[in-house]
């Protein structure tokens, strides 16, 4: 299980860091529908530490993916260990 975990985590980090900067930046399904049907302006803009995955540059997006994947892994792992006690 240890090697399986390391392998999948490495794959996830690799995808989030190296592949995500080259993912499509077109609006997703809901964003497209919101624009087409005229309710997109209702969305409230927000502040966040890594707003929109640092979409201003490929490097920022990759780093955001790297950090986010590790953070999700850490929180998920902590919950799993805490739940077992």
Place of tokens 């497209």: 32
The length of the chain in residues reads 85
Residue 27: helix, strand or coil by DSSP?
coil
Nearer to another protein, 23 or 59 (CB): 23
Residues that bind another protein (CB under 8 A): 1-2, 4-5, 7-9, 11-13, 15-16, 19-20, 23-30, 32-34, 36-39, 42-44, 46-53, 64-65, 68-81, 83-85
Q: What is the nearest approach in angstroms of another protein to the Cβ of residue 56?
A: 13
Measured N-to-C along each axis, helices 58-84 and 2-14 cross at an angle, to the nearest 10 degrees, of 150
Q: What is the nearest approach in angstroms of another protein to the Cβ of residue 59?
A: 15
Nearer to another protein, 27 or 59 (CB): 27
Cα separation of 39 and 49, whole Å?
26
């Amino acid at each position: 299980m240890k090697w399986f975990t390391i392998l999948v985590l490495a794959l996830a980090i690799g995808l989030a860091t190296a592949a995500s900067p080259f993912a499509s930046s077109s609006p997703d399904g809901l964003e497209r529908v919101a624009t087409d049907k005229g309710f997109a302006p209702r969305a409230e803009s927000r502040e966040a530490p890594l707003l929109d995955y640092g979409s201003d540059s490929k490097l920022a997006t990759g780093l955001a993916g790297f950090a986010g994947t590790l953070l999700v892994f850490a929180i998920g792992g902590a919950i799993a260990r805490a739940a077992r006690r």
